């Protein structure tokens, strides 16, 4: 009984820490000068820099930064696979289920696979975007 309660508490803590649904990452965006509009994958993401955009970790993204009188800038935000996070979570899950070493290994593999499919095993880079805008016609 105590083992079941401990497992339930640990699961609750993991869910509270990682949340549910599509994993998103907040990317702060700042420009010099301020006041640019940021588009993520062609859709307006924030109206005036500095701001932050929330992006799905399951895919790469293109940020387009626009300000009247300045050259448009584009930043590619790429996802990077972080297997250490998925392996750690799989080991915790396998150990909490009280499995033998084979069961723990199986649970770890299942968890890595699940987190890769859901996007939880990825982080987006760059994690902060800072752009110095170039005035139109400056030839720089």
Query: What are the CA-CA distances from residue 28 to residues 1, 51, 53, 99 (Å)?
Result: 45, 6, 6, 42
What is residue 12's predicted lDDT score, i.e. its pLDDT?
43
Q: Give the homologous superfamily in CATH for domain 22-79+124-140.
A: Carboxypeptidase-like, regulatory domain (2.60.40.1120)
What is residue 120's predicted lDDT score, i.e. its pLDDT?
79
Listing DSSP states for 11-31 in one string gives HHHHHHHH-SSS-EEEEEEEE
pTM tops 0.85: no
What is residue 47's predicted lDDT score, i.e. its pLDDT?
86
The structural domains of the chain, with segments of one domain joined by +, span 22-79+124-140, 83-120
Residuewise pLDDT in 10s, the chain (140 residues): 445 444 444 444 444 444 457 789 999 999 999 999 999 999 999 989 999 999 999 899 999 999 999 999 999 999 998 877 777 877 787 777 766 777 777 777 777 777 777 777 789 999 999 999 999 987 65
What is residue 126's predicted lDDT score, i.e. its pLDDT?
97
What is residue 22's predicted lDDT score, i.e. its pLDDT?
76
């Amino acid at each position: 009984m105590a083992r079941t309660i401990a497992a339930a508490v640990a699961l609750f803590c993991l869910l509270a820490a990682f949340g549910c649904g599509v994993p998103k990452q907040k990317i702060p965006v700042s420009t010099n000068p301020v006041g640019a509009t940021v588009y993520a994958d062609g859709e307006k993401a924030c109206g005036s820099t500095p701001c932050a955009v929330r992006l799905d970790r399951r895919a790469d993204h293109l940020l387009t930064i626009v300000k009247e009188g300045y050259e448009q800038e584009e930043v590619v935000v790429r996802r990077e696979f972080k297997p250490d996070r998925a392996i750690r979570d799989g080991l915790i899950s396998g150990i909490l289920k009280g499995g033998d070493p084979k069961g723990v290994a199986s649970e770890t593999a299942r968890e890595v696979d699940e987190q890769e499919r859901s996007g939880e095993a990825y982080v987006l880079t760059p994690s902060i975007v800072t752009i110095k805008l170039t005035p139109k016609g400056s030839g720089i």
